[in-house]
Amino acid sequence: MAIEIQSHQPSLYETDYLQWIEITVEKLRQQDYAAIDWDNLIEEIADMGRSERKSLKSNVTIVLLHLLKWQYQPQFRSGSWKGSIVEHRQWIRDDLASSPSLKPYLHEIFSQCYIDATEQASAETGLPIASFPSESPYTLAQVLDAAFFPEG
């Protein structure tokens, strides 16, 4: 009795992602729906949503981190901290402008972003985590406000 061994042939999606995108877009334009790699296309679209949410969460956390460092270590304030706050606020604004449906998510994640920021601030500054308030001393509006920098 012979055993048939099946080998996995990598798909275009696995071997050349950019080419897979270009071909998929062309097939969609031509309305050649039967030739679409639907499983991977659906997964990519779902990943795009996850990526947008992850990016927003990361940017909010970074702004909070640098606001904490700005407030709790004023002697170490630097242009790079300020620049990081400005840059990540811009990215948050861009994310919200291109995907307004992220606004409710922003409210959902704000507390967790603050917790993450305090953990990182403690690690980066050497200050005990108890040095920081258990809840954000900054409102979401302040975090997004280009002119807001806490006193230290």
Residue 8 within any structural domain of the chain: no
Q: Are 112 and 34 in contact (CB under 8 A)?
A: no
pLDDT tens, position by position, 22-52 = 999 999 999 999 999 999 999 988 888 888 9
- Supply the range of the domain harboring residue 123: 51-144
Residue 109 confidence (pLDDT): 97
Total tally of structural domains belonging to the chain? 1
Residue 11 within any structural domain of the chain: no
pLDDT tens, position by position, 72-100 = 999 999 999 999 999 999 999 999 999 99
How far apart CA 65 and CA 119 sit, in angstroms, is 9
Residue 1 confidence (pLDDT): 58
How far apart CA 1 and CA 40 sit, in angstroms, is 37
Residue 49 confidence (pLDDT): 82
Residue 4 confidence (pLDDT): 64
pLDDT higher than threshold 80 for residue 140: yes
Residue 40 within any structural domain of the chain: no
- Output the DSSP codes for 68-119: HHHHH-GGG--HHHHHHHHHHHHHHHHHHHH-GGGHHHHHHHHHHHHHHHHH
Residue 105 within any structural domain of the chain: yes
64 to each of 9, 53, 102, how far by Cα in Å? 47, 17, 18
Residue 112 within any structural domain of the chain: yes
Residue 3 confidence (pLDDT): 64
**pTM for this predicted structure:** 0.80
Residue 22 within any structural domain of the chain: no
Residue 139 within any structural domain of the chain: yes
Of 118, 59, 127, the C-alpha closest to 94 is 59
Residue 81 within any structural domain of the chain: yes
